[in-house]
A and B are shown apart, each in its own frame.
Chain A
């Protein structure tokens, strides 16, 4: 992943000639990595393998029948209802990434022009929502967005609308909540990339008569595209997995894969079907991320 998203790869290693490293230099980094590798193997990969195995077993009220193997769980997911929920999840997640990208550009641009301390404070302001518990955040949004919430009451008392706007219990609510919650994942890489642009390029371009939009299109956007894509990919994947915000702001009317998987795993206790669903979500997310990365590297190779 890093090779596709790091804006300066290829630069660091050019100068280093091949030389023999001291043995400590080989083993020490390995020893540092080991605890996390063990942790990931034990607490991520192993349960994941368990889930993969479970997803091929049938389920009945007596529990998971580990003696039999079946594809029935995956067949169930081909039902238009489940495909529809998956499509909605992908669509909303992408929309949120897109809106976040558009909103994050001006903020990141503004941030890079501030004094360093002011930059830090501004960024902390945008990181702060991530530090608030996700359920508390969603409840906060209900205070603003509900039919009798602050926004609707203000609009109605100003005479701008006659009846409350439907701002929650629909996709609008989920999009608003998640754009706010996951904003920093696009903002921070963009800020870093924008800060790294050599200002002389911009002055040169405008000195040669380029308009503001031309400067953005031919200099700023290409130079920040890897960071933008990286941010959007991270943003997209956590949107796909978001649970509390869709549950609270979408309600029962807007089902996404995570809320549906919750019901299947924890209310129906149908772990095999739930596992199949989680794996489909994982595969679709991974596929889309890889496709986006290929898009990013392809572009850079073409422009190089």
Chain B
């Protein structure tokens, strides 16, 4: 560099490069002592443990420390767990059930019983995940697939509020509708429900794809994250979306005007927890799992984040009590045959990308 580039120029650029380098070298903190390593989300789980004091609460309750290993999505959580299945560095893994069950199929979880995890006794009958009669993990809590919409937009356009799955097909929602892609948990339920409405099901999925294809021109975006949906709602780009009821509650708390409908059938979208096979601290892992399944922790998650607790002793208050199904309704929530879906899912994902996503 010669000519008009002076020493001053290059000095400024050097400073700039120095800043970049400094930003890249982030300090890494390490915890010591008896620590349980918990692989899960960086979202509400991290908020709860690290910002709202529940990691300290765990230490007070059990004497163990917990270190969260946070990932962005269920897929990343289970991929991380599977990647270290020969030599695990984490003790407990929790994520959405459809992803969790991929780990189960690769044999990464170790069986648990009431001796190690006493709170198993208080869970709803749908919660335990059995394999050969052994409990390999449990649903810790769940969310319900919900239809979220903006009441003000509906009022302004004189649209009738949606009540169920069929309303998604209404022509007036053209360009205002959000459905997650089939690779997303809530998109998966939508596909299966559409197939059922057309006389099919998991084993006969064609009607579901036909319906998605017919609906595709109306879809503004096949959105995967709740943050993006919130943004589209706030900016008025979208008016109605399929996602989770818990997300709706979170939107309300953030001041985004949204109403939530739980369509019939309401699908339970479970979050599952399990102990890694050959976990570094198998005992601590069970202590943590038991603590997470306790009425205290699950009640907090229900009331704070709108999640449906799988522990029968949890009491709901406030908005959560209005929104979430009462314990008497728990048996009515629909669950899908995850084993059957797992074998078909990657073919469905590919079919969605080939046939549905390009449709404008």
Q: Enumerate chain A interface residues (CB-CB to B < 8 A).
A: 61-63, 81, 112-114, 116-117, 119-121, 123-124, 127, 131, 139, 142-143, 146-149, 169, 192, 195-197, 248, 251-253, 255, 260, 263-270
List 27 A-B pairs, Cβ < 8 Å: A61-B105, A63-B105, A112-B3, A116-B5, A116-B8, A116-B9, A117-B8, A119-B5, A123-B13, A131-B23, A143-B235, A148-B237, A149-B235, A192-B5, A195-B2, A195-B3, A195-B4, A251-B221, A252-B224, A255-B353, A263-B349, A266-B73, A266-B75, A267-B75, A267-B183, A268-B349, A269-B82
Closest 10 pairs between A and B when the two form their complex, measured CB to CB:
A252-B222, A116-B6, A268-B346, A120-B12, A266-B75, A63-B106, A195-B3, A116-B9, A61-B105, A120-B9
Residue in chain B with minimal CB distance to A117: B8
Determine if A268 and B345 form an interchain contact, defined as CB atoms under 8 angstroms apart.
yes
Which residue of chain A has its CB nearest to the CB of B2?
A: A196
A119 to B220, CA, bound (A): 43
| Residue B354 lies at the interface, judged by CB distance under 8 Å to chain A | yes
Query: Size class of B's contact patch?
Result: 35 or more
Which of chain A's residues have a CB closer than 8 A to the CB of B220?
Answer: 147, 169
Contacts A149-B235, A196-B3, A251-B223 given; does A63 touch B9 at CB 8 Å: no
User: How distant is B139 from chain A, measured CB to nearest CB, in Å?
Assistant: 21
CA distance A248 to B353 in the complex (A): 16
Residue B26 at the A interface, CB < 8 A? no
Query: Which residue numbers of B lie inside 8 Å of A, CB to CB?
Result: 1-6, 8-9, 12-13, 16, 19-20, 23, 73, 75-76, 78-79, 82, 102, 105-107, 175, 181, 183, 220-224, 228, 231-232, 235-237, 342-343, 345-346, 349-350, 353-354, 357-358, 360
Q: How far is the CB of B169 from chain A (nearest CB, A)?
A: 20
- Where chain B touches its partner, the secondary structure class is helix
**Chain A residues, CB < 8 A from B3:** 112, 195-197
Closest-by-CB residue of B relative to A265 is: B79
Q: Which of A169, A192, A197, A266 is close to B1, meaning CB atoms less than 8 Å apart?
A: A192
- How distant is the Cα of A197 from the Cα of B2 in the complex, in angstroms? 9
Q: What residue of chain A has the Cβ atom nearest to residue B71's Cβ? A: A266
A124 touching B79 in the complex, CB below 8 Å, given contacts A112-B4, A260-B353: no
CA distance A75 to B307 in the complex (A): 44
Which chain B residues lie closer than 8 Å to A120 at the CB level?
8-9, 12-13
Nearest A residue to B79 by beta-carbon distance?
Answer: A266
- Given the known interface contacts A123-B13, A195-B1, A252-B222, the answer about A146 and B106 at a Cβ–Cβ threshold of 8 Å is no
- A147-B175, A149-B235, A251-B221 known; A117-B346 Cβ under 8 A: no
Are B16's CB and A252's CB within 8 A? no
A131 touches B20 (CB 8 A): yes
A142 touches B231 (CB 8 A): yes
B342 touches A253 (CB 8 A): no
Whether B237 contacts A146 by the Cβ 8 Å rule is yes
